[in-house]
Structure 1
């Protein structure tokens, strides 16, 4: 390769048949790659799509990329395979979604591309799988990759021990478009849950805890806002109805969560494996929220006592933490907001991730 020739990078994301909006990885990774030095790198983001999805994804992804980044939509994995073989990218990047990434890896091998697996799934990075087949396929994908870039600090040693011959690096913690996360000077009595409404995110725990302290919430005039979409949405809506708490709980669906977070006082991040580095949690910190998070995985690395609390993943612990936060005096909220926002600026800087990947791709 010519010394001064740009490196051509492509990053692959699969989609499900029903589009629920951009997840954390789909926002964070394109944002980082889009900010790579465009005199040295040409970046393409590739989405495997189903009918009717391209326009929706394009509308969402435009918020996280610049004009130098190319977006490609392809239906069908055979077409993706052919595309990769023809294009011959220098680096092909993909997440650890096991089966759906295998075709991409094969295409990268056949085209002579370097292969980077980005370990972004909490369970996979800890080698926790639903079946032996998943475990086997993950191992195959790792062995066929040139390097693994892991999102979770606590998983690095696990992966290094399991795959001692592989290059394994740690992705710096980054928040996309942090400049848009501006705390409001007038915080409202909002308690927010934001995330994909799927198992493992803690949405049912959130609703159960709200129900347990519903009278305190009503007395103090708080509103609980659920932002996000997913397979559990209809179940959660029914639960809110059955609990008779529709007056204090609103299910917003996929919405502009940053506007809500900038005005909110309290945010809950309740995943059962790891809240680090949930983009919604990082957004809440940057927006000056008091953050209540389950004490799992690497969550302790991003929750400081000056603006948050770590809890056990049960209804009583969450309810007690919410009661404590609701009881804060008015003058404390301004201090919490300033400390949380300052922490985000100091710890979630884009430059760290950009420098990391530029160095990686130059090797």
Structure 2
């Protein structure tokens, strides 16, 4: 829909609390970019209490984005009633945003289906689809909520073609929704912090969950004795890696700037991992599993691609640690590629045109 007559006002809804992932970082940066360049009307960021530090870290204070915090005051209240209070608090705030396009920065599920129904009469609403492991975690309850969300939202913002195809397979067709596929992802290059000391030999920066490749690393951990290996993330997966540094970080770019080798070992697809983009921008040498759409941003010119195999992983790590020139060359080429091909300008053009319905002559589809 073409809306030249008046600026489109946008509200980005973040459901994640203090645990920000790549999706949350991406949308906060998108909000900053759109506001800084006055490309839309007023932009509001609705974030749960507990996320203040992460919002502040990734949002340009001078961008003009209005931040509203909702939800419970106690971060340790993880009960069902606490979640319900958060939802009701958010609903009350959304009621006051009568002429805004509401974009939910979460995958189709319980939250999006609830608010899709709550906003059933509002046409200007959209939801994200970024989780390529969605099908691996699906059950009948999640399938019902995904079907409802797809039917209740006018736009589905898919970060990759594979994410779109996975969702369409789960819900059995379009359900009336308009699926849009982003031409790229992006990161905030201005915050990249490349250190002169690369003291971290190997880094994984991913949620502690299945299908991220921690099983491959576990198989070769005895062969990595003496290396400075860091595992950064959060999640329910038991991390049994004696001698490795295991922690959660709110400053991934600082850690990446100290890293020689970055691992992206997902079992189905590494694209479009925000952490990989940040590693590329930080000139890390990247080892990635050659699965799914990974080659949309990585190939042999800027990374080492391997099968999903622990032996191949160990061999690649040894090769890069023993060859400084190769490691540095891959890092430089990865940074150049991400600076040229995965820009916030390209993503913002897509988002304005395909999700918000604003005419944009510079926009092009992938």
- Shorter chain as normaliser: what TM range? 0.7 to 0.9
User: Equivalent residue for 1:142?
Assistant: 150
Any residues of structure 2 matched to 1:286-301 within 5 Å, and which? 286-301=281-296
Q: Which runs of 5+ in 1 are unaligned?
A: none
1:97-119 per-position Cα deviation (integer Å, ceiling 9, x unaligned): 40011222123224x24121211
Distance apart, 1:12 and its partner CA: 1.7
User: Equivalent residue for 1:195?
Assistant: 206
Q: 2:339 aligns with which of 336, 342, 345?
A: 345
Q: Give the TM-score taking structure 2 as reference length.
A: 0.82
CA separation of 1:107 and 1:174: change in aligned 2, threshold 3 A: same
Whole-Å separation in 1 of the counterparts to 2:118 and 2:96: 9
The answer (yes or no) to whether the contact 1:88–1:113 under 8 Å persists in 2 is: no
Whole-Å separation in 2 of the counterparts to 1:306 and 1:188: 24
CA RMSD of aligned residues (A): 2.5
Q: 1:229 aligns with which of 206, 227, 234?
A: 234
Equivalent position SS for 1:274: coil
For structure 1, which segment, 144-153 or 257-266, has the greater mean C-alpha deviation from structure 2 after superposition?
Answer: 257-266
Whole-Å separation in 2 of the counterparts to 1:91 and 1:255: 29
User: Equivalent residue for 1:276?
Assistant: 271
Equivalent position SS for 2:179: strand
Distance apart, 1:30 and its partner CA: 1.7
| Residue 180 (structure 1) aligned with residue 188 (structure 2) | no
User: Equivalent residue for 1:91?
Assistant: 101
The answer (yes or no) to whether the contact 1:33–1:354 under 8 Å persists in 2 is: no
1:252-276 per-position Cα deviation (integer Å, ceiling 9, x unaligned): 3324222222232111011223211
Whole-Å separation in 1 of the counterparts to 2:92 and 2:175: 32
| Residue 285 (structure 1) aligned with residue 280 (structure 2) | yes
Any residues of structure 2 matched to 1:50-89 within 5 Å, and which? 54=49, 56-66=50-60, 67=62, 68-75=64-71, 76=85, 77-89=87-99
User: Equivalent residue for 1:10?
Assistant: 11
Distance apart, 1:334 and its partner CA: 3.1
The answer (yes or no) to whether the contact 2:44–2:67 under 8 Å persists in 1 is: yes
Equivalent position SS for 1:163: coil
Whole-Å separation in 1 of the counterparts to 2:128 and 2:112: 11
| Residue 163 (structure 1) aligned with residue 161 (structure 2) | no
User: Equivalent residue for 1:357?
Assistant: 351
CA separation of 1:39 and 1:307: change in aligned 2, threshold 3 A: closer
Whole-Å separation in 1 of the counterparts to 2:197 and 2:14: 38
Whole-Å separation in 2 of the counterparts to 1:333 and 1:311: 16
Distance apart, 1:93 and its partner CA: 1.0
User: Equivalent residue for 1:40?
Assistant: 40
Whole-Å separation in 2 of the counterparts to 1:40 and 1:341: 30
1:57-104 per-position Cα deviation (integer Å, ceiling 9, x unaligned): 111111222341122222222232233233214311112240011222
Distance apart, 1:204 and its partner CA: 3.9
For structure 1, which segment, 295-304 or 139-148, has the greater mean C-alpha deviation from structure 2 after superposition?
Answer: 295-304
The answer (yes or no) to whether the contact 1:210–1:319 under 8 Å persists in 2 is: no
User: Equivalent residue for 1:322?
Assistant: 317
For structure 1, which segment, 331-340 or 157-166, has the greater mean C-alpha deviation from structure 2 after superposition?
Answer: 157-166
The answer (yes or no) to whether the contact 1:85–1:107 under 8 Å persists in 2 is: no
